Amino acid sequence: MLEFQSGRLTALASPRLQAAATVFVLLLQRTPILKVLVEADVRVAAGVPQILRSAVVAAVSLGACDTLSGATTFVSNPESPANATQGEGFGLVFSVIGSESAGGGAGSWTIFGPLPPGLAIPGAVEGPTNTFRLNQGSGAITGTPTESGSWDITFKAWEKAGQKGEPWNTAKLGPLPVVEIVVSASGELVFTSQPMSVSVREGKTFNVGVTTSGTPAPTFQWRRNGDPIAGATSEIFSIIAVTPDDAGDYNVVATNSGGSITSDIATLTVTSAPRITAQPTAQSVVLGASASFSVVATGSPAPTYQWRAGGLAISGATNADYTIVAVSDTDIGSYTVFVQNSEGSVTSEAVELTIQSAPPVIAAHPESQSVVPGAGATFIVRAGDGAGLSFQWVKDDAALAGETDPILNLENLRAIDEGDYSVQVSNGSDTTTSEVASLSVLASGFSRLSNLSTRTRIEPGAVLIPGFAVVGNGQVSLLARAVGPTLGSLGVVGVISDPQFRLVSGPDELFANDNWEDATDQAKLEAIRVAVGAFELNAGSTDAALAVSLDAKPYTLPTTGVSGATGVVLIELYDGGETGPDQPRLVNLSARSQVGTGADKLIPGFVIAGDVAKTLLIRAVGPTLSGFGVGGVLENPVMRLFSSSGELASNDDWGAGSRTDAIAVVAGTVGAFPIDSSSRDAALLITLNPGAYTVQVSGVDNTTGVCLVEVYEVPPAP
C-alpha cells in the first residue's frame, strides 16, 4: 500500500508490491518506452514477474504515454546498461519509434550476440556465430541468467520482413545500437534503475525512485544534498507540493547484509514565478544629485527586470538596481519595475522620485581684509546667480542690521570694527553660512596702483586714449607699451600690425614711439620690464614702448595705428619706481575707446601692490561723454569686475544701486567729473585686497560705442 506522511509518499507494502510501485514510477519517468511495451508482441518468460505487465497497463490507463513524433529512434527498456541478477527473471524489450516507424516499428531484425546464458529472444531464429533473426516489429530478450558477467548485444533493424529492404540502422538510425547486459552474481545488491533529474513547478508533486536486485532485500535512506531525509526509507520518495527550498541533489543509499550502495544523483529544480521580497523605496534628492532604486525578487529561473517611469519602459534599465546619475526636472515622477520569468511575472509597488530643495552653494567666500584707519572694506560672497536667495551679514555672530546684499561695504573703519564677518545665504528652505572673513584695522600700511593695461580694438579713424595721474614728490619711473604684433605670437587673433603712441600732458607732447627698438634708452626699458615682470617683446616687432621718468601731474597716451592700421592692441603702463607712502605713484588710471561685442569688448586691467586693501572708485562712462562733445557714445554700458577667483561685482546703472550717495561723494573727493544719478553710466565703489583685477565693459543688448573706463584711488577718511 501507499501512505502519505508529511507531504511525502512512502511505500509500505510487501517487496513484491513495492517493486510494482517502483516500476510504475519509473515508467512515468520514461513514457516513450511505454509505447514499445504496450505495442510489442512480447511473450514474457515465466521468470519475469507478471506485475511488470500490470504496471504498464496501469500507466497507460492513466494517460502516461506521450504521443510519439519526430525522427526514427531505437529504444530499449531498460536502457543500456541493462542490469540483471543471476538466478532471477529478466526482461528487456526493444523497438523502433518515430514518425517513419508508424505502424509497428521495423519489419524485421538481425541481433548479434552472444546472449547471456539463460536468456533468449522469443520468436527469433538462431543463425551461425550467435546471430538471431526476428521477423516482427518489436522484440524482447527474456529469461533467467545463469552466469554473471557483461554481454554486448548489437541490433540491426530492417525495413521489411525477412531481413529485406533498406537496413534502417545505416540509412535511418546511423551506427548500429548496442545494449550492454550486465548480470550480477546471485544475491549481490545492485541498482537496476537509477533516479532521474527533473524540473518541477512550485506546488506540484515530485517523485523519485529506484529499483534494486539482491538478497536479502535492502533498506533505503534518501538524502538531499548529502544529508539524510527523516522518514524517507522506501524505494520511492515523494514531495506532494514542492517549494523552492526543496530544490537540490537527491540520492539514496541501499543497504543489506552484504553492504551498501549509493545511487546516482537526481537534481530537483523547482521553478517558481517571481516574488518581490523587498520593494523599491521613494527617493527625494536635490537637482543634479544621483538617485537609485532597487528591488529584491526571488524566482526560478532567475527573473529579468524592466524599470518603468510613468508606465513607460526605460531603455537599458534591466537590472535589479536602477540609478539616475544626475537628476533633472524631467526625471520627477512614478517608478515601477516589472519582474518576470518563464513561470510568471509581477510588478512592484509604484514609488515617487521628488526633488528636494538644496542648501545654497557658495561659489566664492568673503576674503579677510587688512586696512588702515579711516579706510573702507568690502566683503563679497558669490552664490549661484543670486536669484531667489537672501543674504544676512553677521559680525562676531551678531546680525548686522540692513546688511542684506551679496556685497558688504564698510566705511571709515576704526579698531572697534575689527572682528569676524560672515554671511548667511538662504533660499527660503535652507541656509548656508559662509566661511569667516576677518577684518584687521592696522595702525599703518601701504598699497598702490602699480599697473594699468587696456585691451581693445582700434577701428579705422579711432584713437585709443589711456590716461593716468601721478602724485607725490619727485619723479616716478614708468614703462609704457602698445603691443600688437607680439600678441599675435601669443595666440591673439586680429592684432594691429603697427601701433604707435604719444605721451601727452596738457597741450604738450612729451614723447612718442612707433617701433620699440627705436627707443633711445633700451637699458632702462629692459630694467623696468624685468623689475615689473612684463613679458618680452619680439625682436624686430613693430610694437611701441617708452621708459620715462615723470613729474606729478596728469598724462594721456593717445594710441593709433600707423598708416591707418586697425586691430586688437594691448596698452600697458607699469610703475617701476620706489614703493612707499612718501614716493610718487599712480593714483588715477583711465582708458577711452570704442567698445565692440564679443572679443572686441573694452577690457582694462590693473594691479594693486602693497600690504593693505585699497578702496577704488571704478566707472564706465558712456552717456555722460556726449555732454563733453564726444560722438557715438555707448548708451548703456555694463561693467563686470573680475579677480583670479572669478567675478566679484558688476553694475549696470549706477544710480539704481544702494551706494549712489557714497559714489557721488567719493567722485567729488578724488576729482572725478560728476555724472547724473539718472544716467545709464556704471560705477562701483569697492575695497580690494592686493592682487590683479580685470574690468570688462560691454553694451547692454550688444550695443556698441565709445566708453571711458576710470579707476580712482580713494584715500582713507581722516
- Could you report the per-residue pLDDT of 628-677, keeping only the tens digit for each? 999 999 999 999 999 998 999 999 999 988 889 999 999 999 999 999 99
> 67-105 burial by CB neighbour count: b if 16+ within 10 A, else e?
ebeeebbbbbbbeeebbbbbbbbbbbbbbbbbeebeeeb
31-184 matches 196-271 in fold: yes
What are the pLDDT digits (tens) for 573-615? 999 877 777 788 888 889 888 898 887 888 899 999 999 999 9
Q: What is the pLDDT of residue 169?
A: 60
pLDDT in tens, 325-372: 999 999 999 999 999 999 999 999 999 999 887 788 899 999 999 999
Identify the architecture of domain 196-271 in CATH: Sandwich (2.60)
Read off the pLDDT of residues 91-105 as tens digits, 9 standing for 90 and up: 999 998 864 544 456
Mention every residue, 6+ apart, whose C-beta is less than 8 A from residue 82: 76, 90, 92, 179, 180, 181, 182
C-alpha cell at 384: 549661484
Residue with cell 541656509: 431
- As a whole number of Å, the CA-based R_g of the chain is 52
Q: What is the mean pLDDT of residues 502-523?
A: 93
- Reported as a pLDDT band with limits 50, 70 and 90, residue 159 is confident
Predicted pLDDT at 21? 36
Residue with cell 530492417: 158
- Work out the average pLDDT over 395-416: 94
CA distances to 24, 37, 38, 449 from 17, in Å: 11, 20, 21, 115
Region of residue 632 (left: phi > 0; alpha: psi -120 to 50; beta: else): left
Question: How high is the pLDDT of residue 170?
Answer: 54
pLDDT digits (tens, 9 = 90+) for 290-318: 999 999 999 999 999 999 999 999 999 99
All cell numbers assigned to 673: 567729473
pLDDT band at 520 (very low <50, low <70, confident <90, very high): confident
Distance, CA of 466 to CA of 589 (rounded, Å): 8
Q: Residue 71 has what pLDDT?
A: 59
The CATH number of 31-184 is: 2.60.40.10
Query: Rounded mean pLDDT of the chain?
Result: 86
- Of 424, 427, 493, 429, the C-alpha closest to 455 is 493
* pLDDT on residue 174: 65
Burial, 684: exposed, middle or buried (Cβ in 10 Å; 0-12, 13-18, 19+)?
buried
CA 157: distance to chain centroid?
A: 64
Q: Which fold has domain 279-355?
A: Immunoglobulin-like (2.60.40)
369-441: CATH topology: Immunoglobulin-like (2.60.40)
Q: What is the residue extent of each domain of the chain?
A: 31-184, 196-271, 279-355, 369-441, 447-714
What is the predicted pLDDT for the residue at 585? 87
| DSSP bridge pairs for 441 | 371
φ and ψ of 456, to 5 deg: -155, 180
Rounded Cα distance between 53 and 62, Å, is 14
In this predicted structure, the answer to whether residue 13 has a pLDDT above a threshold of 80 is no
Q: Model confidence at 84, in pLDDT bands (50, 70, 90)? A: confident
Q: How confident is the model at residue 381 (pLDDT cuts 50, 70, 90)?
A: very high
The pTM of this model reads 0.56
pLDDT tens digits, one per residue of 17-76: 333 333 333 333 333 333 333 333 333 333 333 333 333 333 332 333 333 344 578 889
